Copies of this chain bind each other. A is one copy, B any other.
Amino acid sequence: MKFNKVKGTEDYYPEEKSIQQQIFSTLRTIANRYNFNEVETPALETLGLLTAKGGEEISSQIFTLDKRGKEELGLRFDLTVPITRMFVAKQLELPKPAKWFGLSRMWRYERPQKGRLREFYQFSAEIFGTDSKYAVAETLQLLIDMLQSLGLTKKDFIIKVNNRQFLEGVLDCLDCDFEQTVKVIDKYKKMSGQEFLDELKQAYVKEQQATTILQLLQLQDTPAKMFQEVFKKVNYTNSKKSTKGVNELMDILELLPESFVELDFSIARGLAYYTGTVFEVYDRKGKFRAIAGGGQYDELTALLGGRKTPAVGFGLGYSTLRLLLEEKGLLPQPQTAPEYAVIVMTGYTVSLMTFVQQLREKYSVYVDLKERKPKKQLDYASSIGAQKAIFYGTEEQATGIFTVKDLKTGEEKKVKKEELLT
């Protein structure tokens, strides 16, 4: 009987895994330069934790495990919640801020589609213990640097920034319920204007206010002018929250290169735990889902039983990132081919094994493992992309002089053993 992989999961064959490892390696290197340290949380968590602050939609997407004994377990659906649990567990002894990142798989039970799997990789960076605007700015700078290190430019992606406090103040002024309205705003990009207005109506927003909200979300200009436009319609300066949000946004935007970051009032973030500045990264053409998203979440530590601690972070999904890199021709070359293939002329001996072992102190080496004729060994070496072949027989063993064949050019030359190994 033949078995298939589970729908919405991925098998990584060597080429694909090599591409992924190279991209991961870049993300890790840049995160380390920013002094973010890697952590890892279990795949399994208690249902209590997973449902503590996910919102309804997420709760229905949790893969839960068959109950054995008293434990109710599920698979994590993001990294922020379990990383926050880890922070809370050692909150008192850790130096603050704690700058951590994770790079692991997570799971969501949903209908698989392009760039959306049920088991997928996410990079996640989190800073605990500061509400400074500089922490938000550095987080965004990290994101920019990571994407640039992969070859993407300002022509390829844009970070859209907003602030939930600002939004809350504006909605207060418009006499709208924040929780309900923000859920609709979060879906704005996926709807037509009319659909959006209809959904707002269902969230008990009056027609005139709904029109005003739609106009605000459509604004595109410099931050200063956008806030002026808002002010013309809503006197948000009466709201402390809004004023705080605006000041924070202006401070952050000032520190970051304009060409990478823009203000967008339609960014609201679906996950319920965000409290301050929020952001999402999109490809410039708007072809794919958001590549990354995050923001400040100042109440999650307290909700998970710790002391209230401000935090900021983001998640970056590997699937969409890979799609964008592919479209831009920026995927790294898979590295799966060995540098040398040793062609076995006279059977396996201790001396052959020793020679190969020495060669392997420096190079990736394939040695025939099927006891094939030399011709077949050369064919195989070519099929796996080996760069060079070394012939090993009685004569070579005796003289210490080897024929090395370049499998790309066909060129052959004699090389002394010592030269090969140094």
A52 pairs with B3, CB closer than 8 A: yes
Nearest B residue (CB) for A33:
B360
Q: Is A132 located at the chain interface by the 8 A CB criterion?
A: yes
Cα distance A35–B348 when bound, in Å? 18
Contact between A1 and B134, CB atoms less than 8 A apart = no
Stretch at the interface among A87-95, A203-211, A290-298: A87-95
Chain B residues, CB < 8 A from A350: 254-255
23 A-B Cβ contacts within 8 A? A1-B48, A1-B304, A2-B305, A3-B88, A5-B45, A6-B46, A6-B71, A9-B44, A11-B89, A12-B38, A13-B39, A33-B363, A35-B364, A44-B63, A44-B118, A65-B65, A68-B109, A95-B380, A95-B384, A99-B366, A127-B369, A130-B369, A145-B357
Q: What chain B residues lie within 8 Å of A88 (beta carbons)? A: 2-3
Set of chain B residues within 8 Å of A89, measured between Cβ atoms: 4-5, 11
| Interface stretch of the complex, out of A14-22, A172-180, A229-237 | A14-22
Partner of A38, one of B17, B38, B75, B304: B17
B-facing residues in A335-361 (Cβ within 8 Å): 336, 338, 348-350, 353, 357, 360-361
| Bound-state Cα–Cα, A40 to B40, Å | 18
The distance from the CB of A128 to the nearest CB of chain B, in whole angstroms, is 11
Known contacts A63-B65, A370-B97: A46-B4 contact under CB 8 Å? yes
CB of B17 within 8 A of CB of A40, answer yes
Taking the closest CB of chain B, its distance from the CB of A16, in whole angstroms, is 9
In the complex, A350→B34 CA distance in Å? 17
Q: A360-B34, A363-B33 are in contact. Are A369 and B13 (CB under 8 A)?
A: no
Q: Which residues of B contact A371 (CB under 8 A)?
A: 132, 134
- Name the B residues within 8 Å of A100 (CB-CB): 14
Partner of A42, one of B10, B71, B129, B383: B10
**Which chain B residues lie closer than 8 Å to A73 at the CB level?**
6
A239 on the B face (CB < 8 A): no
A positions within 8 Å CB-CB of B: 1-7, 9-14, 17-18, 20-21, 32-35, 37-46, 48-49, 52, 63-66, 68, 71, 73, 75, 85-86, 88-90, 95-97, 99-100, 105, 107, 109, 118-119, 127, 129-130, 132-135, 137-138, 141, 145, 254-255, 304-306, 336, 338, 348-350, 353, 357, 360-361, 363-367, 369-371, 380, 383-384
Structural contact, A21 and B42, CB atoms closer than 8 A: no
Stoichiometry, as copies per complex, reads 2
Residues of B within 8 A of A40 (CB): 11-12, 17, 20
Closest B residue to A344 by CB, please name it.
B134
Q: Which chain B residue shows the least CB distance to A334?
A: B37
Whether B130 contacts A370 by the Cβ 8 Å rule is yes
In whole angstroms, what is the CA distance A349 to B134 when docked? 10
B305 x A90 contact (CB < 8 A) = no
B6 touches A90 (CB 8 A): no
- Nearest to A81 among chain B residues (CB) is B3
Query: Is there an interface contact between B42 and A11, defined as CB atoms closer than 8 Å?
Result: yes
Is the CB–CB distance between B369 and A338 below 8 Å? Answer: no
CB distance A34 to B365 under 8 Å?
yes
Pick from B34, B42, B66, B353: contact of A255, CB under 8 Å: B353
Closest beta carbon of chain B to A29's beta carbon, Å: 10
Contacts of A34 in B (CB 8 A): 360, 364-365
B42–A119 contact, CB under 8 A? yes
Given contacts A63-B65, A130-B369, A130-B370, contact A39 B10 (CB under 8 A): no
Q: Whole-angstrom distance between the alpha carbons of A40 and B51 in the complex?
A: 29
Q: Which residues of B have CB within 8 Å of A3?
A: 45-46, 48-49, 52, 85, 88, 304-305
Known: A2-B305, A348-B255. A12 touches B35 (CB 8 A): no
The list of the 6 closest CB pairs from A to B, nearest first, reads A2-B305, A14-B37, A9-B42, A12-B40, A3-B49, A35-B338
